[in-house]
Amino acid sequence: MAEIRVPELAESITEGTIAQWLKQPGDYVEKGEYIVELETDKVNVEVISEEAGTIKELQAAEGDTVEVGQVIAIVEAGAGSSAGTSAPAETEAAPVQAEAKAKEDIVKEEPAQKQEEAAGRTVASPAARKLAREKGIDLNAVKTVDPLGRVRVQDVESHQNTPASAPKQAAPQKQAASAPKAQDSGKPVERERMSRRRQTIAKRLVEVQQTAAMLTTFNEIDMTNIMDLRKRKKDKFFDDHDVRLGFMSFFTKAVVAALKKYPYVNAEIDGDEIVLKKFYDIGVAVSTDDGLVVPVVRDCDRKNFAEIEGSIMDMALKARDNKLALGDLQGGSFTITNGGVFGSLLSTPILNGSQVGILGMHTIQRRPVAIGDAVEIRPMMYVALSYDHRIIDGKEAVGFLKMVKELIENPEDLLLEG
């Protein structure tokens, strides 16, 4: 008999939510096999069984909040476990035959269930499984265009929008959640429970605004030179490093150089002390189906452009496939967020946790700019620096952003700084 407990998650995480049971009472599990998916404040964690056997009991339901160390399931050792090795030879055959017969009966009675479990775990991304669960859609009925047969979020969404499938699957199971509720206005509404991650995001953003003296300063960058450099070098860069040359590596290098000149932007407040960080771990905001996450690219001062681009790409892929580890999200000293990928022209980004600075990039827009006595059409980007005015004065903030602007507009200087 083995107890399945909620494992240690991270120093700052003490509880999680049962997102999905991957096994049910009566199911046989191998040692090391995943049996439940937990949703935490930052990432989803899959919990394994430490012993082979049969699921005897589930002690928490999907949607329940569970604490670290809490027993959530009981696994009863199978007939082939070490507990039965001391039985007499003449009595060993009966339990073995009984176990074989039971497995045979399960195979006969529940072939579809076994196939669904296998398909659900091996060919569906965690985000797709979660969306299908919320929409009441059977993943085995979802068609995918992925050559490897992996069901992704867009496949589930396409299936939901198919007229033939919506009445049969989505409507009955969502009826209770989507039924119009009477309000004082008499208008129909739909209630949707916030995920644990969304609740955490909301809570922390409000905390930052309530505890920090946040202010934002703006500037604009002429992207002409850096776009020309990228155009000339991108093919050779890809051939040499097998990664694409984007703008993020340039901005990351510019930020690191500016942080070295303005160290208070790379700090945090601890009580009545200022902690000046002598490392440059830059968080890069990534949008996922479950909300915004900020994986951290470590030691950016020691990485070259290719290493930074590769790290950002790896983190983005892990974030979108829900594969980030807790360590990927902790310990950043400064954050960069790029609303420009969604078409944002201007914004005021909110500080990330205990950090005191965040740089917001925006969409590149061609517009008339005065160059000397002439007016030219140039690719321009607005940039924003939100900062904690408690330890960063306006002069430092403006100087920091101005240095980032100058380095981006003069890529040769940026290479020298790197």
Which residues carry out catalysis? 389, 393
Which residue bears the tokens 């919320």? 134
Type of residue found at 304: N
Spatial separation of the C-alpha atoms in residues 361 and 247, rounded to whole Å: 10
Q: What would the DSSP string read from start to end of 334-373? A: EEEEEGGGGT-----PPP-TT-SEEEEE--EEEEEEEETT
Token reading at 379: 């690719």
Spatial separation of the C-alpha atoms in residues 341 and 361, rounded to whole Å: 9
| 288, containing H or E segment | strand 286-288
Question: What are the CA-CA distances from residue 256 to residues 83, 85, 239, 302, 417 (Å)?
Answer: 59, 62, 26, 10, 9
Closest-CA residue to 58 (of 22, 7, 105): 22
Angle between helices 248-261 and 305-320 (to 10 degrees): 110
Token reading at 283: 């968080």
Closest-CA residue to 280 (of 304, 253, 306): 253
Q: Give the CA count within 13 Å in the CB-facing half-sphere of 292.
A: 16
Neighbours of 314 (CB within 10 A): 15
Spatial separation of the C-alpha atoms in residues 336 and 317, rounded to whole Å: 17
Strands 34-39 and 282-284: unpaired
Strands 282-284 and 334-338: parallel
Q: Are the CB atoms for 280 and 259 separated by under 8 Å?
A: yes
